Structure 1
């Protein structure tokens, strides 16, 4: 277990570095993160709306979904998280949960105390910036999910979701664009795309019969990536994987050095 937890923290740091430039000292500090692991059965609540949180959930294995819920208990999944993703990093600065987070398969979570994350952010402005940028990326993905459910047809919705998870799995080293694990049921796919389970089954059949993609037993095999991208109207720009962005803070820690200061009051 200890080795898998270490590997997960390394994967989280790799995720941060895909969008943010970090110094060796900052990386070393992040690798010292520690937390308490907890295993959740499939379709268990990790976070309920309104919970006051003292830790953030780093996914060790399995699949996690963020969701909203109407008054009748029906859920709309609005984001998926794989190993190396911190599913609720924004809770560090907004600990009262405004959403639910649940396991979509048996899942292991490393619960990292907010106090640790806040300490790192206060000691290393570059890490604070990386956390900030990671939250921006999460918001960008959420925005694309709104477009997906609201403006794409049913075939495009599912194709787009498969494209997104293929790219993210590939970047995390958990698969590639031809094959990756997605331990999710057809009902959960319906909740993620705003469709019914019956409709999802029909769409999966269309993708399979067209030799574009096949979903079976929690695994996605993509036979024709270019066609899947076309059908899904997929542009990966929203994932913000364009490489590390220029730092706002100075690597030396002199974070205010090049920040314009306000002019004196008249």
Structure 2
């Protein structure tokens, strides 16, 4: 899954692909809503999502929570722990997950021997930062309807890049309360927005599967530009997406 993810944002040489596949790792199956790493901890390994959904979140003393990011198969949500040795946030599963844990020492050794692979992972980290800039814009300036539509467009293209979509349908694992915590909305307000999107025949949501009924219209509502995803040659232009899947 990691090589497939990196293929969507860069070009991997065969020796780098082999180096990834040869990395020592431990695979664990974790239940949903389980903390992988907590604020203040000092991890000695990075995690790679093989299956399921993971979230990064900040918790406040009065019990409030801000979900900062969602991660799907192929993502390494704590790659920064290679160089930032103390966790400044929490990382948790949203669903039952299969996670590969890769020791920091092994990653450091491989990246020293494969500078192009190091550059690819550095690019992936920079793109993660681009996601944050876009999310700040959404939280600060987009109205609720555009905020939700933008997140749906982003999650669709990110899952499409690693082969997790079916046409214009994809798994949307976060519950409404978790989506609300990511979007700075109350659950009641989010529910109203979802009803509006359905009424306009832009999306349908059933059984944890979201289907985009009108891609171009959803893009227009979201003012969505996929540049921040930096998916390179493997991502179609926005207006071509609905026609090419």
Distance 1:70 1:147 in 2: 22
Q: Give a deviation string over 1:155-203, Cα, whole Å, max 9, x none.
A: 1111001000010111110005610001110000101100011111111
TM-score (norm 2): 0.91
Judge conservation of contact 1:167–1:177 (CA < 8 Å) in 2: no
Q: How many residue pairs are counted as aligned between the two chains?
A: 234
CA contact (8 A) 2:36 2:93 kept: yes
Query: Which of 113, 129, 142 is matched with 2:103 structurally?
Result: 113
Which residue is 1:6 aligned to?
A: none
Report the secondary structure of 2:92's partner residue.
strand
Q: Give the match for residue 182 of structure 1.
A: 172
1:20 to partner: Cα distance: 2.6
The equivalent of 2:35 in structure 1 is: 45
Aligned to 1:4: none
**In 2, distance between residues paired with 1:124 and 1:50?**
31
Unaligned runs of 5+ in 1: 1-10, 245-266
What are the within-5 Å matches in structure 2 for residues 230-241 of structure 1? 230-241=220-231
Which structure is larger by alpha-carbon Rg, 1 or 2? 1
Structure 2 residue 56 is the aligned partner of structure 1 residue 88: no
Partner of 2:160: 170
Q: 1:131 aligns with which of 99, 117, 121?
A: 121
Following superposition, the deviation at residue 71 of structure 1 comes to 2.3
Output the CA distance in 1 between the equivalents of 2:157 and 2:10: 18
What's 2:195 paired with?
Answer: 205
| TM-score computed with the length of structure 1 as normaliser | 0.84
| Paired residue secondary structure (2:165) | coil
| Structure 1 residue 214 displacement after superposition | 1.5
CA distance in 2, matches of 1:195, 1:113: 37
- Whole-angstrom CA distance in 2 between matches of 1:44 and 1:115: 25
Structure 2 Cα separation of the partners of residues 179 and 19 of structure 1: 22
Measure, in 2, the Cα distance between the counterparts of 1:209 and 1:23: 47
Give the CA deviation at 1:95: 2.4
- Distance change >3 Å, CA 240–CA 221, structure 1 → 2: same
